[in-house]
Each structure stands twice: as structure tokens, then as C-alpha cells.
Chain A
């Protein structure tokens, strides 16, 4: 652990090597602003200022001033590029006991919950034999099972999946609302458009962060108007940069992750925000989850916000074995399913977005704290993979850390690994987040063996509180991802796959559209309202932007070796078509289309020669991305 790939771009220009690099001191520096930082800063702010606004805890770096707390967010504005959710909001409500959801745009209390099993109306879905049999039976018993629009409502939602008493939220709007509350207190500054390039690692600990350089060419070399990224040194660095955050990755490499832990399980979530048609009678707070279609492995969600707006989309998990697992195309097929289309037809696409999720949950937990640093949120393994819940857990880890930090500050104890262990990690171990996370740990292992064992395993784990689970071994992508030939065996001949690949390489586009159509998926009937081309989706409701003067954040570490990759899954799965076949079909990157979902980081199917747990793509901190706060 701890070594960098051979030709990785060197962001580590240290202060001593480059005396021009500006420096600043803070008491606490926070990387990334999402729900975890939201919980952290909300709780911290209440502790470092008295109710009358006077200083309760004085700064160590600026005597006489209140604690200096800085938070740096890479996206161009706060709340850009995060997702829409349903959450039990247990931790969020503890922080805001008087919370009125009407204060938060697009928030609604959960009103009803349903799970729909979707039959395959087009005949292209790759269903296992058992499932096909079940489908026949369901159709035959249609009237008895109340099958409507090729969908069957499950008679009951297991307790562990229920979100009663919770909230449907737009995370963009929620995080903006939280940021307003936090900054309104004056206790912390939250800076968007400020990607953190790396942590300053000194003496077996973290001494602060460096922001990325500006005025550089795409390869990171100084160019016109070069401005070296500032160093912000602080006794405590809070890493909350999410599941694909570069600082989290850097710390994992530098300090290792606990024995037996891994992050092999992940999913890509992609969604639309839609203005529902007048004819749609779904109440705000309606929560609908689907399974079974477009592929058995792909789950769907449909959350209704106030004012006839809905967030809807799909999750494409790591254990879906297609190497051409384009989420956008599948999302359109899912939306066209009669049970969904019935609700949305006549509506209008407002915006679109994508994000990856760390789905190893607690088993993907890194070292939670060390000298001068602590990790919170999704990147710290807080997501509960059994209850499909992450926001509330992330928020709560932030709250727990803030409580620990306030205790250390009040006792004037330094942020050593030992002190953070007792003040934060021990607290977290005693929390509901950790307890529920343990129950969930093995809950999804069955999916490694297929959709049916997966569903059974999830039910077993949920109903026995984690005591029983279906076994299964999560694998890294290079062991998991099949070649196109393997995946389409019996459906598309290898020669034909090669021809399709060649043709799409020549056009500079991914092959998945041609492959899916060859495999029986119908063309999408673009209507300019709900069904638009992938490229147009990049421009709807907030164009994807990439400010000039920053280095490319996606870096192919061994570009010449990518030619030998069979799947080129980085191209096939890219959420924004930002990775495309360039020269000789090798992957190339167009930053102006990147939504920073990080799928390429997770899914690279070629093991890194220096560290087989990793692929051959570096995902750095980058500016830009989606400009939509509705997601």
C-alpha cells in the first residue's frame, strides 16, 4: 500500500519545493460538502458559537477569533451533482427537531410506499429461466395478482425497507438549505468551485490539504495564468469527499484499509427530474421502488416531490455482469415501461444526473481516523446496503464526529489518532449507524450469485437482523466484468460484435446502443420532452460545464495498454459519454461532458499492476460538472 502508479500525474508539489505556493491556516478543514459535512458543520457550528453569536471555542490558529472552519467543495456550486432520495431522516430530524419540510424546496414527508415487480414488455430483458417461468405464472394469474400495465405490486414492503416517517428530498436543495443555515451562523465557510487536490501527509498523519492548481493544461502542467493550489494547514482535516473522492482514495493508499475490507460493491444511480403531467395523480411523498426490468439486476425508484415534480431513475449494480451496462439507455427503457410511462407520459424532463454509490457499506469502511484526520459519510462506509439508505447515515456520522471534536476542543486535547479514536470512532461504534451497518454487512452477498439468490439473501438478512445471509464473494471488476463476447454468447456472434465495435470506434461513440438494439431492445422514440438523446440530457436543466484552466480529472494511467482491454467498460458505462473511443479505439476523455459520477474509477476491468484492488484510471478532484441543484 501507499505507492503510486508509475506514470500518475504528480499533484504533490510540496510547499518546500515550490515556495510560491500560498499557505493558510485554519483550525478545521473539511473536504467536500454533502450530507456528512452538513451534519458535521451543523453540529459543530452550534458548539463553537454561543446562542448569542459570541465565541464559545476560540481559534488555535487565529487567537481571539472563533474557531476557523473551512469547507472546500469541488463542484461549481453547493448542491450541484448530488442525488434525490427518500430517507428515514432519523439523524436529520434529531439535528432539526422542529424541521418543517416545507422550508426545504422539493421536500415532502413520505406518504406511501410501494414495490412493483416489472414484467418485461419488450422481450429483450435477460431473465434467468426461473424468472421467466415466474413471469409466465404471474401473467397467467394476472387478475388474481392484480397485474396491471405489466407490473405486479408486491403485497407488502419488508420493515427494513420502509421509510415511514421519512422524507423525500432533493439532495441538491437539501444541501443548499443546510449550507444556508450553517453559513448564516458565520461559524464556517463553505467554498464551492474549490477542488481539493490532495491531503498533506506528514509524520504519519494529515496536516491539511492542498487545493488543485489552476491555470494548468489538461495534463496538469503550468500554463497561462498558473496559480498553484493553496495549502490549507489545519490540526484536523475532515474527509467527506464521498465514494469516489480523491482524498479518501489517497488516505486509503497511504494508511491502508482494515484487513478484510474492500469496496468491490458499488452501483451507478442515474435519474431524471421530471415535471409530471397534469393527469398524474400521485401525491407528494409517494415512494415507488421497482425490480425486474429493464434487466433483472436493475432497480428503479420513483419519488414524488411537491408541485408535481418527481425524481426517478435506476440503480445499475456492480454485479450486473454486462460490460455494456449503459445506464442512460436502460433508464429510458425503464421509463418507457407501461407502469412508469402511464404516470409520466405528457410530462417534461427538467434535469438529469448520475452518481455512483459505495455499496460495500460497512465492509468498505476505511480507517476512520488517524493523526489529524477523520473520515465521515459515504466514503467512510456508512451506507446501509440492506435498507438502501445512505444520506441519513452519512449525516449522522458527521454529527457524531462533531460531537467528538467539540469534546476534544473543550478539553483542549489535540486531534491525535488516539484521541479521535475515543472521541469519534468509539462514539460511532456505539451508534445506530454502526449497529445497523453490521446487520447489513452480508445482506447483499447473494447477488454475487444471481438475482434470485440475491433477493432471498436480502430478505434473510433483513428478517433475521443479519444473523443469516446468502453467501457470496464480492469481486473486484477485473475478476467480475465479462468480455462482450462472453456476455452476448448465444445472442450475438463474436464476429458481429467485432464489426459493431469497429464501426462505433470509427464513429467515436460507444458500442452499447448498437449492441442493445442487436440484442432486441427497441429504439428510443425521441420526443424532445421526456425522451431525448444522451447528449441533449447533458444540456437540460443545467448544462454540464468544465471551467478552463484545470487539469483533466480522469487520467488513464497506462493508456497504451487499454487497447488490450476486451470490454472497454469505461467507454460503455460512462454516464456522460465523456469517455469515448479516441485514436485507435483507445479511451479518450472530454471533460466538458463529465458529470463526475466516478463510474470509470470503479469499473475499470484491468487490474492495476501495482495494486490489483485498483483499476487503471485515476479519478482526481476536478472542477465543473452538472449545473443543477434539483438533483
Chain B
């Protein structure tokens, strides 16, 4: 049975229904009160981590790392929730996690951290990450990580990985039209940018949390200060779009009439 070394890249984003507002800072745009907003693991990166753990649990001898770039204090906080979910070893980088940093700079920092993980064996390595973050939302960071690591078997929008009897990786990627493209990759190394996958969020397991803690706290303590910015980028504006529409509120109309209105609306090209 193959023993995979799965490196998951993922960082934190504001809890999704927080009110977000951009501000202009000395280093370019940022989120207002960014450090105060509750954070959680970027959802698609989270799916990548849970899929990694699932794959590792089915292939004994496999191991999962989480490489996370974010402000140390916030990372520590999110880890206390995340650590209870699945077993992993943390590699922490202390730097900004906001959406306005450039994908290439983030990717370079992540790739450097991956290269520094002792004992990584390319022939067993799978690099996972979120297809797109919920912050920058470009879907480009992981590709550059792959390029720096020399991985040209890359898959994006992944919803499933299965291991064939031959050891080949059978991967489902989202493509146009609500369909999945099926690919076979001969063997690791490969890079997968995950969409939502098909796994429910794992339960909080205190024992998993305890075991993870042995590496998480030391990893946070030695988190390398990492400078990541948006060199070469100039934002002329960042704004919350004017969303206000003049909403017509239709009350006290019988269902029949509402239905007739809706049908007319949807059939009227």
C-alpha cells in the first residue's frame, strides 16, 4: 500500500458572514479590523485537509502536513479548532493572510516552507490546497507552488481522488457544465487544488487535538516571520460594491397572482 506524504497548503480567512470592509493602509488595501474578525480555515483548503487526512487514514504509513501562512496569533487561535478535526503536523509561517497580497509571493513562501520539510520524498508527495481561497480568490497560488516544486501534474477544482490498483491516482476535476473531468495520473508527485470534495466536516475529537498539539505549539513558537506583500501592484481603488437595489416589497398578494407574475418574469426573455 502506498505511503503518501501529503502537504496541504491552507490559511485562514474571516468567518464568512462577518461584515467586511476595505481600508487603505500604508502597504495597500487591507480589511478593516482584520485582526479582530473571527477567522477559520479557508473553506476549500479545509476540504483539502480533510481529504488529505481521509486519504492518509486509508493508506497507513501516510502523513499529513499543513503549511499555513498567517498572523501567528490568529493561526494559534484557528488551530485550536482545527487541531481537533484530523491528525496533521503544522508548519507555520508568521505573515499576512489577507486577500490583497500577491499569489506569487504567497506561493514562493509556501514552496520554500515545503522544501524545508525534512524527509520529504517526491515519489510519495502529494501537494494539496484549496482551489481558490475565500480571500484572494484567484485560484493561482497552488499552481505556482507546483511550478516551484517542479510538479507538472496539477489538477484544479478537484472533488475526488481514488487510488487505482496500479497505484495510479484517479482524479475528478470540476469543468464546465456541472461536469467532472476524470484523469489518471501515473503516480505522485501531483498537486491537487480542491473544491468542496464530498466529505462532511469531521467531528471534534479531543484526542486528535491532544496529539496534534505536540507539534502545533512548537511549530507556532518557531513560526518564521515571513514578508509577503503585493510588490508591483498598485490598487487605484478597492470598494464594496453599491448593492442597494430598490426592492419592491409585494405583500398580501395571493399565491396565484404571485405565481403568475413569476412565470411571466421567467418566461419573458
Contact = CB atoms under 8 A, between A and B. Distances in A.
Query: Quick check: do A and B touch in the complex, using CB within 8 A?
Result: yes
B84 interface: yes
B84 A194 contact: yes
Contact of A211 (B36, B81, B206): B206
Contacts of B80: 78, 183, 189-192
The listed residue with most B CB atoms (<10 A of its CB), out of A176, A191, A215, A628, is A191
A215 B17 contact: no
A230 B207 contact: yes
B57 interface: no
B120 interface: no
B87 to A, nearest CB: 15
A549 B200 CA distance: 11
Nearest to B15: A627
Contacts of B33: 105
B77 interface: yes
Contact of A350 (B19, B76, B81, B205): B19
A7 B205 CA distance: 29
A106 to B, nearest CB: 7
B210 interface: yes
Given A77-B77, A180-B76, A225-B203, A24 B15 contact: no
Interface string A46-84: 000000000000000000000000001000111010000
Interface stretch (A152-160, A436-444, A535-543, A568-576): A535-543
A76 B17 CA distance: 14
A143 interface: no
Contact of B204 (A176, A190, A214, A628): A214
A184 interface: yes
B206 A180 contact: no
Interface string B197-212: 0001101111101100
Contacts of A191: 80, 84, 204, 206, 209
Interface in B73-115: 73, 76-77, 80-81, 84
Contact of A24 (B18, B204, B206, B217): B206
Contacts of A186: 217, 221
A68 to B, nearest CB: 9
Interface in A177-215: 179-180, 183-184, 186, 189-194, 211, 214-215
B217 A183 contact: yes
A577 interface: no
Interface residues of B, number: 27
A372 to B, nearest CB: 20
A395 to B, nearest CB: 20
A525 interface: no
B28 interface: no
Contacts of B221: 186
A173 interface: yes
A127 B209 CA distance: 55
Contact of B81 (A176, A193, A541): A193
A288 interface: no
A225 B205 CA distance: 12
Interface in B217-252: 217, 221
Contacts of A630: 36
B258 interface: no
Interface centre among A72, A106, A541 (most CB of B within 10 A): A541
B213 interface: yes
B202 to A, nearest CB: 9
Contacts of A287: none
A214 B203 contact: yes
Interface in B156-175: none
Contacts of A232: 206
Contacts of A194: 84, 204, 206
B35 interface: yes
B73 A627 contact: no
A123 interface: no
B139 interface: no
Contact of A106 (B18, B36, B205): B36
A105 B36 contact: yes
Interface residues of A, number: 41
Contacts of B209: 189, 191
Interface in B52-82: 73, 76-77, 80-81
Contacts of B38: 77, 80, 542, 627-629
A406 to B, nearest CB: 22
Given A78-B77, A80-B38, A191-B80, A549 B207 contact: no
A627 B14 CA distance: 11
A227 B207 contact: no
Nearest to B201: A547
A468 B56 CA distance: 70
Contacts of A193: 81, 84, 204
B57 to A, nearest CB: 14
B94 to A, nearest CB: 13
A3 B73 CA distance: 45
A346 to B, nearest CB: 16
A22 interface: yes
A211 B35 CA distance: 30
Contacts of A80: 38
Nearest to B205: A227
A629 B81 CA distance: 15
A530 to B, nearest CB: 13
B73 A180 contact: yes
A176 B77 contact: yes
Given A183-B217, A193-B81, A629-B36, A540 B19 contact: yes
Interface string B177-197: 000000000000000000000
Given A184-B76, A191-B80, A193-B81, A541 B18 contact: yes
A230 B209 CA distance: 12
A76 B81 contact: yes
Contacts of B204: 191, 193-194, 214
Contact of B206 (A179, A230, A542): A230
Contacts of B76: 180, 183-184
A16 to B, nearest CB: 20
A227 B36 CA distance: 33
B136 to A, nearest CB: 22
B36 A173 contact: yes
Nearest to A185: B217
A105 B209 CA distance: 28
Nearest to A77: B38
A629 B39 CA distance: 10
A173 B38 CA distance: 10
B203 A215 contact: yes
B12 to A, nearest CB: 11
A541 B206 contact: no
Interface of B: 15, 17-19, 33, 35-38, 73, 76-77, 80-81, 84, 200-201, 203-207, 209-210, 213, 217, 221
Interface of A: 22, 24, 72, 76-78, 80, 105-106, 173, 176, 179-180, 183-184, 186, 189-194, 211, 214-215, 225, 227, 230, 232, 350, 539-543, 547, 549, 627-630
12 contacts: A77-B38, A78-B77, A80-B38, A106-B36, A180-B73, A180-B77, A183-B80, A194-B204, A232-B206, A540-B19, A541-B18, A627-B15
Please give me the 3 A-B residue pairs with the lowest Cβ-Cβ distance, nearest first: A543-B17, A214-B203, A227-B203
Given A78-B77, A173-B36, A191-B204, 14 more contacts: A22-B207, A76-B81, A77-B38, A186-B217, A191-B206, A192-B80, A193-B84, A194-B204, A211-B206, A214-B204, A227-B203, A230-B205, A543-B17, A629-B36
